[in-house]
Amino acid sequence: MLLASALLEGSGWAGGVGDGNLRLSVTVNGRADSDVRPPEVRVGAWVVKRYRLLNVSEADLHRVRVLDPGAPAGSVRCPAVLPAAEEAECTARFRAVAGRHVHPVRAEGDVPSLRTRLTATARAGYAGVAGALGLTEEVVVATPGTGGGGASATVTYTVTNRGNLPLYTVRVEDPGLALAPGAPDCGGQGGTVAVLAPDTSAFCRTTVRLRPGTYRSAGRASGSDRATTLGTGGERVTAPLLTAGASAVFVVREAPVAPVPRTPAPGAPAAGAPAAGSSAGAAGAAGASAGAGAVPAPGAPGALARTDTGTGTGTGTDAAGRPAAPAAPGAGAAPGAVPPSSVSPGAVPPAPPPGLRRAAGVDDEGFLGRVRRRGREAAEFGVATTLLLLLIPAAVAAALLGSRRK
């Protein structure tokens, strides 16, 4: 009755139970000496741990379990009961993480009838290895120059080894910009970084000339850590090609148009030349004549377009077109004229006002002379004034003739 009751309760036999009756061995990815030579497993690959338990006691073990700090919680699976004098296997399967993970492992089983717990320990683990390649990029567009033709863009690629193994022959390319092979400058090595140590970065740069528009850079980096690792069954796994990518969108602006120099119209004064009617032009017009006779100022009615040079002894014309008599030596000067003694040799005397010249011949002209003079002055006074000037002298002349006949 007592034996049957003990079996129904799941308790083991009391005889042959003690320390050392439970034994433990562990293999990691097929390697049994993982405590001394932890297998190298690529980061992210599968790790398979097999825990072999041997119960050499004469009692069954209940609530069998394995405590392994090197395995994620809940990843170890064990049978509920390990019968006496038999063995069982617990397993764990999880993804490898970087670093060395070798820890003590503890196996346990209970003998309820004796209120005893059998234990066993072993050391096991693995080493997670890999070179991890990362890539970022930055684009700087130069300010476009005048004259069109686009601008240059400088792209900087930053490659980083985020793993725990060196990377070899890291090559940088950019199919988005259609760069030639080896175009990025990686320290004078033609688009390739020979060795990139763990936790370090390298820079590659390229400058391209682009027309105005929107562009997308698509950087690509590739390399290898050359590490051979172990698979879940202990097979050798060659190193894969590691890759990384990055992209950036940038805009090349339209270059500003160069200003077109303005050509002055024909006859327009050049830049810096005195404008028409300025004081410089007036001074040149005032000194254009060097003769003794008075010459009308340029622009006055009946003025002569000439330039005189010489000693100042010349002959001019009066308002009626007759030659003017030369001034006698020592004779009184006409009103407004400059005496010869007051003009220095080579100097140009100022021209007298036109009104004084007209007054000089008024006393000598007759009726017909007045008519001709009025006609010449018609351009200055207009049609109405001309008519008045013609009619008034005619009326006066008619009155004079009538009084003489009486």
Dump pLDDT digits (tens) for 331-342. 444 444 444 444
Q: Which candidate, 163, 166, 185, places its Cα nearest to that of 174? A: 185
CATH number at residue 113: 2.60.40.10
* 170-228 confidence digits (pLDDT tens): 999 999 998 887 789 998 778 899 999 999 999 999 999 999 999 999 999 999 999 99
Q: What is the pLDDT of residue 357?
A: 52
> Residue 400 is inside which H or E element, if any?
helix 383-405
In a domain, 207, yes or no: yes
pLDDT top residue among 257 and 307:
257
Q: What is the pLDDT of residue 340?
A: 45
> Residue 111 is inside which H or E element, if any?
strand 99-111
Residue 114 gets the label, from left (phi > 0), alpha (psi -120 to 50) or beta, of alpha
* 32-73 confidence digits (pLDDT tens): 999 999 999 999 999 999 999 999 999 999 999 999 999 999
Using the 3D structure, point to which of 209, 229, 252 is the last residue of a domain.
Answer: 252
Q: What is the largest CA-CA distance in the chain?
A: 196
CATH number at residue 171: 2.60.40
In a domain, 344, yes or no: no
What is the rounded average pLDDT of the residues 274-282? 43
In a domain, 199, yes or no: yes
Using the 3D structure, point to which of 129, 154, 181 is the last residue of a domain.
Answer: 129
Residues 16, 118 within the same domain: yes
Residues 165, 102 within the same domain: no
- Hey, which bits of 130-212 come out as E strands? 133-141, 151-161, 167-173, 192-196, 200-210
Q: Which domain holds residue 47?
A: 8-129
Using the 3D structure, point to which of 221, 252, 283 is the last residue of a domain.
Answer: 252
In a domain, 304, yes or no: no
Q: Would you say residue 166 has pLDDT above 90? A: yes
Residue found by looking up tokens 């002959």 in the block: 315
CB 103 within 8 A of CB 69: yes
Confidence of residue 378 (pLDDT cuts 50, 70, 90): low
* 302-322 confidence digits (pLDDT tens): 333 333 333 333 344 444 444
Q: How far is CA 153 from CA 70, 239, 257, 282, in A?
A: 50, 36, 20, 61
Q: State the average pLDDT for the chain.
A: 76
Confidence of residue 399 (pLDDT cuts 50, 70, 90): confident
Q: Would you say residue 283 has pLDDT above 70? A: no
CB 227 within 8 A of CB 239: yes
Residues 125, 12 within the same domain: yes
How many angstroms separate the CA atoms of 357 and 334, rounded?
A: 9
In a domain, 41, yes or no: yes
Residues 28, 87 within the same domain: yes
Residue found by looking up tokens 């990139």 in the block: 196
Q: Which candidate, 24, 17, 21, 20, places its Cα nearest to that of 121? A: 24
Residue found by looking up tokens 């700090």 in the block: 69
Angle, helices 383-405/367-376, rounded to nearest 10 degrees: 170
Domain count across the chain:
3
**What type of residue is 52?**
R
Q: What is the pLDDT of residue 361?
A: 53
Confidence of residue 85 (pLDDT cuts 50, 70, 90): very high
pTM exceeding 0.85: no
DSSP code of residue 378: H
Residues 160, 246 within the same domain: yes
pLDDT top residue among 260 and 314:
260
Question: For residues 161-195, b (16+ Cβ closer than 10 Å) or e, as one string?
Answer: bbbbbbbbebbbbbebbebeeebbebeebebbbee
Q: What is the pLDDT of residue 341?
A: 44
Residues 98, 169 within the same domain: no
Q: What is the pLDDT of residue 397?
A: 80
Residues 201, 96 within the same domain: no
How many angstroms separate the CA atoms of 301 and 315, rounded?
A: 19
Share above pLDDT 90 across residues of the chain, in percent, rounded to a whole number? 51
Residues 147, 160 within the same domain: yes
Q: Would you say residue 102 has pLDDT above 80? A: yes
Residues 159, 107 within the same domain: no
Residues 123, 185 within the same domain: no
Residues 177, 203 within the same domain: yes
Q: Could you tell me the two tokens for 17?
A: 């139970």
